[in-house]
Amino acid sequence: MIQRISRLKAALPELTELERLIDEGSQHMRIRVPAHIQHGEDHLPFYVIEMGSTRKDAPVLALVGGVHGVERIGTQVILSFLKTLIRRLRWDPAAIEQLHRIRLVIIPIVNPGGMADNSRTNPNGVDLMRNAPVEALQRTPFLVGGQRISPKLPWYRGERDKPMEPENQALTDAIHHALKDQPFCMSLDCHSGFGTKDRLWFPYAKSVDPWPGIDSAHAMTELFEYTYPHHDLYLFEPQAHSYTTSGDVWDYLYDDYRTSQPNGCYLPMTLEMGSWLWVKKNPRHLFRYHSLFNPILPHRQQRILRRHLTFFDFLMSATATMANWAPTDALTQQHHHMAALTRWYPGR
Residues at the site binding Zn ion, with contacts judged by CB under 5 A: 68, 71, 191
Min. distance of Cβ 150 from Zn ion in angstroms?
20
The three-class DSSP label of residue 316 is helix
Indicate the pairing of strand 103-107 with strand 60-65: parallel
Cβ closest to Zn ion, residue 68 vs residue 336: 68
Helix axes 298-307, 309-320, angle to 10 degrees: 20
Cβ count near 20 (within 10 Å)? 12
Min. distance of Cβ 271 from Zn ion in angstroms?
10
Indicate the pairing of strand 198-202 with strand 103-107: unpaired
Select from 99, 86, 93, 117 the least CA-distant residue to 55: 99
Cβ closest to Zn ion, residue 71 vs residue 198: 71
Min. distance of Cβ 270 from Zn ion in angstroms?
8
Cβ closest to Zn ion, residue 223 vs residue 273: 273
Min. distance of Cβ 75 from Zn ion in angstroms?
11
Cβ closest to Zn ion, residue 103 vs residue 191: 191
Min. distance of Cβ 292 from Zn ion in angstroms?
12
Q: CA-CA distance, 348 to 339, in Å (whole number)? A: 12
Cβ closest to Zn ion, residue 68 vs residue 103: 68
Cis, bond preceding 47 (omega within 30 deg of 0): no
Min. distance of Cβ 243 from Zn ion in angstroms?
12
Cβ closest to Zn ion, residue 98 vs residue 294: 294
Cβ count near 95 (within 10 Å)? 18
Radius of gyration of the chain (CA): 19
Min. distance of Cβ 251 from Zn ion in angstroms?
15
E strands present in the chain:
29-39, 42-52, 60-65, 103-107, 184-192, 198-202, 234-238, 265-273
Residue nearest to Zn ion (CB): 191
Q: CA-CA distance, 31 to 295, in Å (whole number)? A: 30
Cβ closest to Zn ion, residue 25 vs residue 74: 74
